[in-house]
Amino acid sequence: MTSVTIFDIKRFAVHDGPGIRTTVFMKGCPMDCWWCHNPESRSRAPEEVTYIRKLGKSNIESKKVYGKIMSTDEVMDEIFRDNVFHEESGGGITFSGGEPLHQPEALAELLEQCKNHGLHTTVDTCGYTQWKNFEKILPYTDLFLYDLKVVDPEGHQKFTGVKNELILENLDKLLEKDAAVELRIPVIPGINNFAEELQRFVQFLMNSKRKIGKIHLLPYHRTADSKYKKLNLENRMISIENNHGLDIQVFKKELTSHGFQVGIGG
**pLDDT given for residue 210 in this prediction:** 67
CA dist 115 and 5 (Å) reads 21
Task: Decide if 18 contacts 74 (C-beta within 8 A).
Answer: no
Q: How much is the pLDDT for 133?
A: 98
3-state secondary structure of 105: helix
Per-residue pLDDT of the chain (266 residues; tens, 9 = 90+): 799 999 999 999 988 999 999 999 999 999 999 999 999 999 999 988 887 778 788 888 888 888 999 999 999 999 999 999 899 999 999 999 999 999 999 999 999 999 999 999 999 999 999 999 999 999 999 999 999 999 999 999 999 999 999 999 999 999 999 999 999 999 999 899 999 999 999 999 998 766 888 999 999 888 888 888 888 889 999 877 655 688 999 999 999 999 999 999 87
Q: In this predicted structure, what is the pLDDT of residue 81? A: 93
Integer Cα distance of 137 and 6 in angstroms: 18
CA dist., res. 24 & res. 11, Å (int)? 9
Domains of the chain plus CATH, in order, are 3-264 (3.20.20.70)
Cβ-based neighbours of 66, under 8 Å, separated by 6 or more: 7, 27, 40, 41, 46, 47, 48, 49, 231
- Classified as helix, coil or strand, 193 is coil
Helices in 43-194 by DSSP H: which ranges?
72-80, 83-89, 104-116, 131-137, 153-160, 165-176
Q: What is the CA angle 18-40-125, rounded to 5?
A: 35
Q: What is the largest CA-CA distance in the chain?
A: 60
Q: What is the per-residue pLDDT for 241? A: 62
Asked if residue 18 lies in contact with residue 84, where contact means CB atoms within 8 angstroms, the answer is no
Q: What is the pLDDT of residue 227?
A: 86
**pLDDT confidence of residue 243:** 54
pLDDT at 242: 57
Q: How far is residue 54's CA from residue 138's CA, in Å, rounded to a whole number?
A: 47
- The amino acid at 184: R
SS3 187: strand
Q: What is the Cα–Cα distance from 93 to 120, expressed in whole angstroms?
A: 6
pTM given for the model: 0.93
E strand or H helix at 69, and its extent? strand 68-71
Q: What is the C-alpha to C-alpha distance for residues 83 and 81, in angstroms, rounded to an integer?
A: 6
